[in-house]
Amino acid sequence: EGRTLREIRRCLKRYLAREIYRRLNTAARAQLATT
């Protein structure tokens, strides 16, 4: 797949954002469960 650097960066950013969002969500849920 001939991707430009810009496309690669966009894919990486989207992947990272999804991972971070998921981690924050699970952490928030865990805190809500403990309180």
Output the pLDDT for position 8. 96
Instruction: Tell me which DSSP letter residue 2 carries.
Output: -
Structurally, how many domains does the chain consist of?
1
Question: Which pLDDT value is given to residue 33?
Answer: 86
Enter the pTM of the model.
0.65
Which region holds residue 4: left if phi is over 0, alpha if psi is between -120 and 50, else beta? beta
Domain of residue 15 covers 1-35
Single-letter amino acid, residue 15: Y
What pLDDT digit, counting tens, does each position of 1-35 carry?
Answer: 688 999 999 999 999 999 999 999 999 998 888 87
Compute the residue count for the chain.
35
pLDDT of 18 reads 98
